[in-house]
Structure 1
């Protein structure tokens, strides 16, 4: 995975996230997601706030100080809010120097090329969470899914019980699951949608 430049995959991941966010309607904002602590609105705030955090990290800042952007975004404003941070995050990570230089990720100081795959995984996982909550309104990119799954398997142990890691322990993937079903299972997700 070290030989793969994660930037094009991250850009593709942001494109599919934008497409899923555009499918959100105000009447589903209070609905459940596979992320038990988030309803759709809170998940959107987490995605937008998390993407801003990744932009700040890419700009050589401390992303830990960035708060979720739940307040102030109107019900129909999530696509615009995500597009704004999406432009910023892609700009922050575009240089080869950023990929070589150390950044302050939640798991420590590492070169950008080692941090960005974790951010791809997080964005793709939460995009699946949102897509699942909406009944899978758009087809998700299997190439991005495979990269996210490989990153998750490399970074996260199968048993995460009591570890303090942000994802639950892996669960068995359903028979015949696609890459996103396998990713969701590896991250301990239980789908809310059966679509």
Structure 2
């Protein structure tokens, strides 16, 4: 179990960071705009709660059901998604598997890294949308930014809704590591 904990450490930290922001969401904020132009806060929450479950389903070869995770207890829904994802990615042999996704073939490790970056960055999006500080886990943001520079190609970038990432932007100084990561992934900071 100790090695599983080390293997999923970044994912665990990303979930913890985003959960801290999610705990601040009030029902009146669910219709607020987010840095992801096509999503309001409700859609953003549904995406990142669902993406933890989706990642788990992809590595385990199971089905992932769509649900309105923002309709009930946000933290309970998120905690359940976090538990499912951490258990799946911590399972023996999962990280070495090759997984077919609609946009390519990836190792379990690569998919876990995608889910980690997605969880953390959407925590940043949520913080920005609800007026919370965006200076999230600086050490994790620095690690994820270094990984993103290696993983994200120019061919992955384009307009929202047509590409996985937007064009990199320059964050306004002084930019925290989380702001720098968000800018690299196409957010305006």
User: TM-score interval w.r.t. the shorter chain?
Assistant: 0.7 to 0.9
Distance 1:121 1:133 in 2: 18
The range that moved more, 105-114 or 91-100, is 105-114
Give the corresponding residue for 1:23: 24
Q: 1:186 aligns with which of 171, 184, 188?
A: 184
Give the corresponding residue for 1:94: 90
Report the secondary structure of 1:104's partner residue: strand
Distance 1:188 1:6, change over 3 A: farther
Distance 1:43 1:20 in 2: 13
Give the corresponding residue for 2:163: 165
Cα displacement (A) at 1:175: 2.4
Structure 1, gaps ≥5 residues long: none
Within the alignment, does 1:32 sit opposite 2:33 as a pair?
A: yes
Give the corresponding residue for 1:119: 115
Give the corresponding residue for 2:103: 107
Distance 1:90 1:135 in 2: 29
TM-score after normalising by structure 1? 0.82
Cα displacement (A) at 1:147: 2.3
CA RMSD of aligned residues (A): 2.3
Give the corresponding residue for 2:152: 156
Cα displacement (A) at 1:124: 1.1
Distance 1:106 1:6 in 2: 25
The range that moved more, 154-163 or 25-34, is 154-163
Structure 2, gaps ≥5 residues long: 1-5
Within the alignment, does 1:12 sit opposite 2:13 as a pair?
A: yes
> Are the equivalent residues in 2 in contact too, given 1:62–1:104 (CA < 8 A)?
no
Cα displacement (A) at 1:162: 5.8
> Are the equivalent residues in 2 in contact too, given 1:33–1:133 (CA < 8 A)?
yes
> Are the equivalent residues in 2 in contact too, given 1:121–1:151 (CA < 8 A)?
no
